[in-house]
């Protein structure tokens, strides 16, 4: 699996913004771990980026990943 390289070295980020970007990466990498074919992934991505229900579901995954990243960073307080 091409996604299996060591991409997640730490949950610590300098800023909330970077934490947000990490959360999006985490969500995307899971999709890539289940469906590693780049052609199929591209197709699916085009499809769900135009589907309101699937966009909202994606936003839910990002919200969950961000909960973890934010806690790891003690909310950047």
34-73: contacts with a second copy (CB under 8 A)? 34-35, 40, 44-45, 47-68, 70-72
Q: What is the spatial distance between Cα 63 and Cα 15, in angstroms, rounded to a whole number?
A: 16
* Torsion, CA 44, CA 46, CA 50, CA 53, rounded to 10: 20
1-40: contacts with a second copy (CB under 8 A)? 6-12, 15-17, 20, 24, 26-27, 29-31, 33-35, 40
**At closest approach, how far in Å is the CB of 27 from a second copy?**
6
Report the 10 Å Cβ neighbour count for 23: 22
**At closest approach, how far in Å is the CB of 42 from a second copy?**
12
**At closest approach, how far in Å is the CB of 29 from a second copy?**
8
> Could you tell me how many residues of this chain bind a second copy (CB under 8 A)?
51
Tokens 């990002």 correspond to: 62
* Residue pair 23/69 in contact by the 8 Å Cβ criterion: yes
């Amino acid at each position: 699996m091409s996604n299996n390289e060591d991409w997640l070295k730490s949950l610590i980020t300098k800023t909330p913004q970077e934490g947000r970007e990490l959360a999006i990466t985490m969500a995307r990498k899971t999709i890539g771990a289940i469906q590693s074919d780049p052609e199929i992934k591209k197709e699916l991505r085009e499809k769900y980026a135009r589907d309101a229900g699937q966009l909202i579901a994606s936003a839910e995954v990002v919200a969950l990943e961000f909960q973890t990243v934010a806690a790891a960073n003690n909310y950047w307080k």
